[in-house]
A = this chain, B = another copy of it.
Amino acid sequence: MMIIMHNNATPAQVENVIKHVKDAGLAVHLSQGVEATIIGAVGETHNIATEIFEILDGVDIVKRITQPYKLASRQFQPLNTQFTIRKTIFGGEDVGVIAGPCSVESRSQIIETAIAVKEAGAIALRGGVFKPRTSPYAFQGMGEEGLKYMAEAREITGLPLVVEIMSQTQLEMMLDYVDVFQIGARNMQNFNLLRSIGETTTAVLLKRGLSATIEELLMSAEYILSGGNKNVILCERGIRTYENSTRNTTDINAVPVLKSHTHLPVFLDPSHSTGLADYVTSIARAAIAAGADGLIIEVHPDPSNAVSDGKQSLKPEKFAKMVKEVGQIAQILGRNLATIQ
């Protein structure tokens, strides 16, 4: 960390900053230049806020040299994270596709969808039973009943279950059913939830917040990792911008940026990042071409009767075609479609 003093900072102010640096357990490297005095603060700085120096009198700018996260960084772990849930490998050389409906609506709907997406090449089943809805009057999900149907679908297909958790109060009950907790965009900075999940051993698919920076996404991953849970998948799902011809703006740049900064698997959700079924396949292909490790896709057997997100759901046939195309693109990058063992 470098602390650049104002060019009219007094010697006493410089001394005071040096004292604070040492108090923070860091070594001091002082450099008195013509334009500015710079105080290098050397040591383990990822767990020190720049702010504690910024507020000191005489300080102009505090600049990190290293990133504010550690466990999530590629420097800390150069090799890609990879882990196996039931018979599915996440984050390896292969490219995996998670699929399923936005919401579990009935036993038959989830089982039918599970069979269809398995057949098309999916390696995990998604489905929501607690739904974060903007309106208090909208459908809020089937709750535990939905999880029971999902478990049946898993029994039949072998697909592990990816399910969104919205609150710490749901954690204990969900642990009995869920293979991968999804943390939704609106909860990416629900730090209490992140900590609770970090204390479990259940894998997590962490979605980027609506207006979260890439660095903030990695900081939220750091919350989970620092609790001891190493099985974290990151998921770009579109960010909020001024453009309104699509529901969100897919930040495709985030794929290569994340791949260079972190060892965690990087997935992309083109269903939410576009909001319209017609664009999902194009963006799914783009994600894999950009280097993503996987996709999460909304599939519904009958989108025009879906209780939520019908506009962005693919029918199973269209999904199957999409999987085939992304598999071909993966091969150009020397990768294969993941399959269940």
List the interface of chain A (C-beta within 8 A of B): 2, 4, 7, 27, 29, 31, 33-36, 38, 40, 42, 46-49, 51-52, 54-57, 60-61, 63, 65, 68-69, 132-138, 166-169, 186-187, 189-195, 209-211, 213-216, 219, 222-223, 226, 239-246, 249-257, 260, 273-274, 278-279, 282-283, 285-291, 303-311, 325, 328-329, 332-333
In the docked arrangement, what's the CA distance between A278 and B169, Å?
42
The 4 closest A-B pairs by CB, nearest first: A47-B137, A211-B211, A55-B310, A31-B31
| B contact residues around A240 at 8 Å (CB) | 211, 242
Residues of B within 8 A of A135 (CB): 47, 49, 68-69, 219, 222
Q: In whole angstroms, how far apart are the Cα atoms of A192 and B15 in the complex?
A: 49
Question: Looking at chain A's contact residues, is the secondary structure mostly helix, strand, loop, or mixed?
Answer: mixed
Tell me whether A308 and B134 are in contact (CB under 8 A): no
Instruction: Report the Cα distance A254→B252, complex, angstroms.
Output: 12
Assess A329 versus B169: contact at CB under 8 Å? Given A242-B242, A256-B278: no
A46–B135 CA distance with the chains assembled, in angstroms = 9
Chain B neighbourhood of A137, CB < 8 A? 46-48, 226
CA distance A187 to B291 in the complex (A): 32
Contact of A244 among B219, B244, B260, B306 (CB under 8 A): B244
| Interface contact B329-A252, CB-CB below 8 Å | no
Q: Which residue of B lies closest to A275 (CB)?
A: B253
Known: A304-B55, A332-B325. A239 touches B243 (CB 8 A): yes
Q: Are A192 and B169 in contact (CB under 8 A)?
A: yes
**Are B51 and A308 touching (Cβ within 8 A)?**
yes
Q: Is the CB of B273 within 8 A of A282?
A: no
Kindly list chain B residues whose C-beta atoms are within 8 Å of the C-beta of A303. Answer: 55
B contact residues around A325 at 8 Å (CB): 332
User: A134 touching B216 by the CB < 8 A rule?
Assistant: yes
A40-B34 in contact (CB<8A): yes
- Residues of B contacting A274 in the complex (Cβ-Cβ under 8 angstroms): 253, 256
Instruction: Evaluate contact between B223 and A242: CB separation under 8 angstroms.
Output: no
Are B242's CB and A289's CB within 8 A? Answer: no
- Jot down 14 A-B pairs with beta carbons below 8 A, ordered by A: A48-B137, A51-B308, A55-B311, A61-B63, A136-B223, A136-B226, A167-B193, A187-B190, A211-B242, A214-B245, A241-B241, A253-B283, A289-B289, A289-B329
Question: Contacts A29-B33, A40-B34, A135-B68 given: A186-B190 contact, CB under 8 Å?
Answer: yes
Are A257 and B286 touching (Cβ within 8 A)?
no
**Do A42 and B47 have beta carbons less than 8 Å apart?**
no
